Amino acid sequence: MIQTASMVLRSGTKLLRDAIGDGANRDARILMAHMMGIPADRLTLELSRTITPTQVSQFEHMIKRRAAHEPVSHIIGKRDFWKHEFKVTPDVLDPRPETETLVELALRGPAPQSILDLGTGSGCILLSLLAEYPEARGLGTDMSGKALNVAQENAAALGLADRVSFIQADWFSGLSGRFDLIVSNPPYITAAEMDELSSDVRDYEPHQALTPGGDGLSSYRTLAASLAHFLAPAGRALFEIGYKQGPDVVAIFRDAGFTEVNLHKDLAGHDRIVTVS
């Protein structure tokens, strides 16, 4: 039986809608475009194309994976963030739109010569900033060697490998020097909130990148205790936070001796970034 992409997409979308509800149409279209090797925004123009039985099987397999709540980014191995496409694996956090708020705020300040990204994961924050600041050099740290491998691949794919280094480190441990811009999206989900996460996140993303346990604030306490030793005199630091944590994180940095501590909201109106200078 000859099948067009439209026919197969329709049946796959129905299966996915029964499994995950909202977002099924979008996800099915992304998976179909990936299977066909075309940009998602061209899919409508290609839906009349006949696809092979092998392609049908590939698409159906991806739909089954998504129906089991595996993130789309893990299935296709990539995620758009800021202005670029990043490789994503189960070893790194799936870059999220709200994290782009951190990049946007960082770009409002003076151009840095040196950038430090603590807990870099896929490298999406650091590499996005380096692409915007062609004179800057960057250093990304992470406790996960597998995450650093992903970040290095992303740096090479974006042509930034000559301006960035990655090292395995626990926050500031083993580092030296001062940086004009320090950024981080640390683990901040509380132990209690982990059970409330969607299975897409809880079952597929690295737990050490999601939660430090307890009240979710231990990463900020560690960062605040050492930040003054690594931030250049006129430097800035930006940290992503959980939307309920704003006052607590601001207090942590002020108690550490910083007077310029500010809270910023994301596009949804939630507290999302704390800036320190």
In the chain (277 residues long), the average pLDDT of successive 10-residue segments reads 92 94 94 95 94 95 96 95 96 94 96 98 98 98 97 98 97 96 95 87 88 92 97 97 96 97 95 97
* Cα–Cα separations (whole angstroms), residue 246 to 194, 253, 265: 19, 11, 10
Fold topology of 3-68:
Helicase, Ruva Protein; domain 3 (1.10.8)
pLDDT of residue 195: 84
The DSSP 8-state label assigned to residue 97 in this structure reads G
pLDDT of residue 94: 93
- Work out the number of other CB atoms within 10 angstroms of the CB of residue 100: 19
Report which of 269, 92, 275 is spatially closest to residue 184, judged by C-alpha positions.
275
Distance CA 184, CA 109 (A): 16
Domain boundaries, the chain: 3-68, 90-276
Please give the model's pTM, rounded to 2 decimal places.
0.92
Distance CA 73, CA 89 (A): 8
Which 3 state secondary structure label does DSSP give 214?
coil
User: Phi and psi at residue 261, in whole multiples of 5°?
Assistant: -125, 125
Decide if 3-68 and 90-276 have a common fold: no
CATH number of 90-276: 3.40.50.150
